[in-house]
A = this chain, B = another copy of it.
Amino acid sequence: MKIALDAMGGDVAPDVPVAGAVEALSELPESCEILLVGRKAEVTAALEKHGGARPRLTLVEAPEVVEMGDKPLAAVRGKPHSSIAVGLGLHKTGEAQAFISAGNTGAVMAASTLLLRLHPGVDRPAIGTIFPTMAQPVLVLDAGANVDCSARELSGFAHIGAVYARDVMGRPDPSVGLLNIGEEQEKGNAAVKEAHNLLAHASAFRFVGNVEGRDILTGECDVVVCDGFVGNIILKFYESVAKLVRELVAREMDPTVLESPGMTNVFRTLDYSEIGGAPLLGVRGVSIICHGRSTSRAIKNAIKVALQSVQSNLSQHIGAEFAGDGAAV
């Protein structure tokens, strides 16, 4: 199996993606190879810092780079030889079985949708994000691919999310909640109320009804469904709360407490970016978007998630979920 990794994506590229790939190789099965896609000269230089060339690591030239500030569609059309376009091209032709990037999120999303296309029956792709909880992590989707969602689209996210929970998160009988402002069925805006009705008839997973903002982190649901406007705001808010807690602890406590193993564990749990990227679900293939600030550990974890997604036939299962008359929605 080959995984294409955007070596030019992220705030510290190509150094961090290259380091993540090197770290991953030592933990991946022997049959797994990584294609580092980017400007060969720069990637080679970065690789030298991490032990140099080695088996199962192949460099693929991509002369253009999508910058973080580029407009997504303009970047896809104007830079056909970017590491994102070339990497996704390798996946599309079957030379790689998955693609990972910590680059411009909008561009990765647009390019993945345009190049890989969506499974028939899927109206919109969704970004899935893993939130840490005290119990098992929870999948929240959509985390930002779609700002306005119809009830049918929200229902589609539930089906996609349930497949991901089964295939990648190891939840054989996933429970799905609909994010809302109250538990009662009649609560919420028009789209959410109608989505509730659609989901009440779903048989592919356990629909547990509406869940509130306070219920996400209890870990009682495997999947929480919302539109991308709400999901994106919560995702970024969560990140900032962890930062606030760290600042408060630094202000109020002995500085050594912040460095203690216990507190390190607390913040490692809160730092969802370590968990391994956000899959773009609904496309025909495996495309994983990492935070621009990803560490090499986060990249390594994303590579493992990609491996698990390929091995479990995630994309095929999502396709099957939507195949046939009204199967999923």
Interface CB pairs A-B, < 8 A, 13 = A133-B244, A134-B251, A147-B189, A189-B229, A213-B237, A214-B236, A230-B230, A237-B238, A244-B270, A245-B270, A248-B266, A248-B269, A249-B266
A156 to B238, CA, bound (A): 27
Which B-chain residue is minimally distant from A191 (CB atoms)? B148
A238 to B241, CA, bound (A): 8
A229 to B235, CA, bound (A): 16
A214 surroundings in chain B (CB, below 8 A): 236-237, 239-240
A244 surroundings in chain B (CB, below 8 A): 133-134, 217, 270
Q: Which residues 236-261 of A sit at the B interface, judged by CB distance below 8 A?
A: 236-241, 243-245, 247-249, 251-254, 257, 260
A234 within 8 A of B: yes
A262 to B216, CA, bound (A): 28
Q: A229-B188, A262-B252, A265-B252 are in contact. Are A147 and B181 (CB under 8 A)?
A: yes
- How far is the CB of A21 from the nearest CB of chain B, in Å? 28
A46 to B240, CA, bound (A): 42
A265 surroundings in chain B (CB, below 8 A): 248, 252
Q: Assess the A233–B179 pair: CB atoms within 8 A.
A: yes
A103 within 8 A of B: no
Q: Which residues 194-221 of A sit at the B interface, judged by CB distance below 8 A?
A: 212-218
Please tell me the size bucket of the interface on A.
35 or more
Oligomer copy total: 2
Q: Assess the B181–A233 pair: CB atoms within 8 A.
A: yes
A233 surroundings in chain B (CB, below 8 A): 179, 181, 212-213, 226, 230, 234
A253 surroundings in chain B (CB, below 8 A): 260, 262-263, 266
In the complex, which of the residues A189, A248, A263 has the most CB atoms of chain B within 10 Å of its own CB atom?
A248
- How far is the CB of A71 from the nearest CB of chain B, in Å? 9
Q: Assess the A147–B188 pair: CB atoms within 8 A.
A: yes
A104 within 8 A of B: no
A161 within 8 A of B: no
A260 to B181, CA, bound (A): 35
A192 surroundings in chain B (CB, below 8 A): 229
Q: Assess the B269–A181 pair: CB atoms within 8 A.
A: no
A248 to B233, CA, bound (A): 23
Q: Assess the B263–A252 pair: CB atoms within 8 A.
A: yes
Q: Which residues 56-76 of A sit at the B interface, judged by CB distance below 8 A?
A: none
A247 to B245, CA, bound (A): 13
In the complex, which of the residues A213, A218, A235, A265 has the most CB atoms of chain B within 10 Å of its own CB atom?
A213
A186 to B188, CA, bound (A): 26
A34 to B45, CA, bound (A): 73
Q: Assess the A181–B232 pair: CB atoms within 8 A.
A: yes
